[in-house]
Structure 1
Amino acid sequence: MTKRTPEQRLLLEQIKQVADGLARTFAPFCEIVVHDLLDPSHAVLAIHNNLSGREIGDPATELGLARILDPEFEQVIANYPNNFADGRQVKSTSVGIKDSEGKYIAALCMNIDLTVFQGFQGMLNQFVAIEADAPAKESFDPAGSDAIRARIDQFAAKLATTPRALKASDRRALVQELKAAGLLDLRRSMEIVAGHLGVSRASVYGYAK
């Protein structure tokens, strides 16, 4: 068995805990693998949400071997195309783990099976498809509603947040801005603002005073 320093053993144990937490969060769509690069012949130290069919003790991948040979090899490689042995398309991210001497000792890898999401995407595309040349066209959205929502989105973006996450003081400033721009004069404006902010119409009336 490859000799490891206390620091290296601690790092390996900690990265196993990180892998366990990630696996629970992203189950069942994301495979999480911990590679022990100190033992490349038996590198797979832990594997969660097993999608690739690999086993504990399997050898290191080409990427793992590259890190072993070159301490300057890129540490984080995110969202690169990959494939499982059966041909399924995969989006992978690999994070190299170094010890205090700058030596790669492990890698944390995340592999997402894209075929699952491609199936979802196909179904959603079919579900949301509309007939562009249909004889009837109508809208239940009052005129100007898009302008109100766009103004709210812009206001929230400037604060690096979302409309529903705005603080009460920010919501008041926003509604006053909408009022000054004449957007509250549009039909059903209060209802549109309330819906986009996730608050009651009474709150919006209060902010507008």
Structure 2
Amino acid sequence: MKKTPEQQNLLQQMQQIADGLGRTLAPFCEVVLHDLTDPEHAILAIHNNLSGRSIGAPATELGLARAADPDIAQVIANYPNTFADGRRAKSTSIGIKDSTGQYVAALCMNVDLTVFRSLNTLLTQFSSVDNDSAIRETLEPAGADALRARIDQFAARLATTPRALKADERKALMRELKESGLSDVRRAMDIVANYLNVSRATVYNDAR
């Protein structure tokens, strides 16, 4: 099928997008650009190749369906998938239409879940503790959790995060902590400084 100038331009632009996403999401996410105007040789670009396919390989079932039916959803996100060797994946497919409403391309992202599941198992094992133990200990000063919770609440009211607070907002925060008595928590200034990612000197200055 001969491509129109518009379709050629769309495919060229999508190649740049696929390249950028591939570099950003490497190495755990395969990024594939399908040319749906040529379903038998659809794969135009493939980055972080996890599926073992190659340039010029045919379109998937979803790609063929899109090429035949422009009413199929443009964004199909986070659906379960499987690589040829049995590895489980999470996929997202984004269809690209031209000005006539016909599908020209599909940008697909396939995340290999086996790596993350193995990592999650290791982290769960590493972070597990014996909850049946009679010993309970904390290495933090008393009230540290309450102090951080109040900071989180203050930042949430401003629709921001603790580390993104501006100077005037930090001053208002310190006034609130003082009024609530939380500034009297042992090592309060150190806790606030670490939580806001600023120096102790900055916190003392904000508390004046």
TM-score bin, normalised by smaller chain: over 0.9
Shift of 1:4: 0.6
Equivalent position of 2:136 in the other structure: 137
Q: CA deviation at 1:86?
A: 1.0
* Matched letter for residue 111 of structure 1: N
Unaligned runs of 5+ residues in structure 1 are none
Q: What is the number of residues matched between the two proteins?
A: 208
2:187 alignment counterpart: 188
Give how far 1:101 is off.
Answer: 1.3
Residue of structure 2 equivalent to 1:19: 18
The aligned amino acid for 2:64 is: L
One-letter amino acid of the counterpart of residue 57, structure 1: G
The TM-score with structure 1 as length reference comes to 0.95
CA distance in 2, matches of 1:104, 1:121: 38
SS where residue 82 of structure 1 aligns? strand
Amino acid of the structure 1 residue aligned with 2:190: E
Aligned to 1:97: 96
Q: Distance in 1 between matches of 2:146 and 2:136?
A: 21
Note the aligned Cα RMSD (angstroms).
1.2
Per-residue CA deviations over 1:84-128 (Å, capped at 9, x if unaligned) read 011101011111101111111000000010001111111111111
2:38 maps to what in 1? 39
1:180 Cα deviation after fit: 1.7
Amino acid at match of 1:96: G
SS at structure 2 position matched to 1:93? strand
1:181 Cα deviation from its structure 2 partner: 1.6
For 1:112 and 1:98, locate their aligned partners in 2 and report how far apart those are by CA, in whole Å. 24
Structure 1 residue 150 corresponds to structure 2 residue 149:
yes
Aligned to 1:49: 48
Q: Percent identity of the aligned residues?
A: 66
User: What are the equivalent positions in structure 2 for 1:74-89 lying under 5 Å apart?
Assistant: 74-89=73-88
1:128 paired residue number: 127
TM-score, structure 2 as length reference: 0.96
* Alignment-derived partner of residue 67 in structure 1: 66
For 1:137 and 1:80, locate their aligned partners in 2 and report how far apart those are by CA, in whole Å: 43
Q: CA deviation at 1:39?
A: 0.5
Structure 1 residue 135, shift from structure 2 partner: 4.0
Q: Which stretches of structure 1, 4 residues or longer, exceed 4 Å deviation after superposition? A: none
Shift of 1:177: 1.6
CA–CA separation in structure 1 for the residues paired with 2:139 and 2:132? 19
- 1:203 Cα deviation (Å)? 1.2
SS at match of 1:101: coil
Deviations 1:138-160 (A, max 9, x none): 11112211111111112222333
- Aligned-partner Cα distance in 2 for 1:57–1:66: 18
What does residue 160 of structure 2 align with?
Answer: 161
